[in-house]
């Protein structure tokens, strides 16, 4: 009998649901929902819409606070986006929530034609981005950034934690035009407050410096990058972490500044397929600006349909857990 396996704590079904906080990690509950409720108190033009997922996108808090401004559209994501576009034409600021797979794959043409082409003021906040659920390809939005980056004029935000999320809400509301934000919901980790960080739409921030590796990351992978950097420091590997919460427009100036004249490997870590996401955007920027790093690697999800299962297992299997990211960087350094 394998006693090592039997001594490990058994993962429950709940481990397949979007809980990305480690045991004992600091968290804040429903940062998106609470921030939207607070903002909407002084902004009567803000309305909330969802496709039968208010509870699972934290929009239920908005519904409780402003029932007359909440619209339950049912399981009809195309209708959700079309209605949001119509409301924006009438001067409202709709926040439309659903799961990222449904908001992008299922409603793509409606976003493209009815919202983005007319540059309407719709804020699409979509939960379960990338590998934040274990329910398999039907729910894993591992290609949402690739899809949405292709839409002209669309701003894309990928927050790291609760602080990023709550600070992003008023800024995307103030931004004129359509926004797609990857939504962290429920009990969301809180990490960036330890780095004197504040969210600025369109800006990347260097959270820590190091001489050997520059980790460029977005979303939950910034949290993983900070963890891996701490682990690698014990092996005398200096890892810098550049957080890019805005995927489009990308802060190319900050990226070029962080790479130019510094002889270190660049690793882009993202909770997304290696096809069409932050990694390819960074590579393109470096090539166009004629900046050559000491090496370049993508620490993203593989270009394949991912398995279903418990999130800790899947994150380790596909290389985006704290430990797996550290192992990948060590291997690339040789």
Residues forming the active site: 77
Cα–Cα distance, 319 to 130 (Å, whole number): 13
Instruction: State whether residue 20 is helix, strand or coil.
Output: coil
Q: Tokens representing 286?
A: 């470096």
Length of the chain: 334
- For the chain, the straight-line distance linking the first and the last C-alpha, in angstroms and rounded, comes to 36
H, E, C per residue of 311-329: HHHHHHHCCCCHHHHHHHH
Q: Residue 109 CB: number of other CB atoms within 10 A? A: 10
Q: Residue 321 CB: number of other CB atoms within 10 A? A: 20
**Contact status, residue 218 vs residue 278, Cβ threshold 8 Å:** yes
Cα–Cα distance, 215 to 299 (Å, whole number): 9
* Residue that the structure tokens 């239920």 belong to: 60
Instruction: State whether residue 246 is helix, strand or coil.
Output: strand
- 286 to 4, 203, 234, 281: CA distances (angstroms): 46, 17, 30, 9
């Amino acid at each position: 009998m394998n006693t090592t396996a039997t001594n490990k704590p058994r993962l429950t079904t709940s481990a397949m649901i979007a809980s990305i906080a480690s045991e004992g990690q600091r968290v804040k509950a429903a940062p998106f929902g609470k921030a939207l409720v607070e903002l909407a108190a002084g902004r009567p033009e803000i309305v909330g819409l969802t496709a039968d997922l208010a509870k699972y996108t934290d929009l239920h808090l908005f519904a409780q606070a402003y029932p007359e401004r909440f619209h339950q559209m049912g399981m009809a994501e195309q209708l959700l986006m079309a209605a949001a576009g119509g409301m924006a034409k009438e001067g409202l600021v709709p926040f439309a929530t659903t799961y990222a797979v449904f908001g992008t794959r299922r409603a793509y043409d409606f976003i493209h034609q009815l919202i983005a082409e007319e540059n309407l003021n719709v804020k699409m906040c979509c939960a379960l981005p990338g590998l934040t659920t274990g329910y398999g390809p039907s729910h894993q939005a591992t290609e949402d950034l690739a899809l949405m980056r292709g839409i002209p004029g669309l701003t894309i935000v990928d927050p790291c934690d609760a602080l990023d999320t709550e600070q992003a809400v008023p800024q995307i509301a103030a931004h004129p035009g359509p926004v797609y934000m990857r939504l962290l919901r429920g009990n969301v980790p809180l990490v960036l407050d330890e780095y004197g960080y504040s969210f600025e739409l369109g800006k990347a921030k260097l959270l820590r410096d190091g001489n050997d590796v520059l980790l460029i990351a977005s979303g939950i992978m910034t949290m993983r990058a900070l963890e891996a950097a701490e682990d690698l420091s014990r092996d005398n590997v200096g890892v810098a972490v550049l957080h890019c919460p805005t995927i489009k427009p990308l802060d190319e100036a900050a990226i070029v500044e962080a790479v130019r004249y510094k002889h270190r490997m660049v690793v882009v870590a993202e909770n997304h397929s290696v096809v069409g996401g932050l990694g390819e955007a960074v590579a393109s920027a470096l090539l166009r600006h004629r900046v050559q790093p000491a090496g370049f690697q993508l620490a993203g999800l593989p270009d394949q349909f991912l398995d279903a299962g418990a999130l800790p297992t899947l994150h380790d299997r596909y290389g985006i857990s704290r430990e797996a990211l550290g192992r990948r960087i060590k291997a690339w350094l040789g």
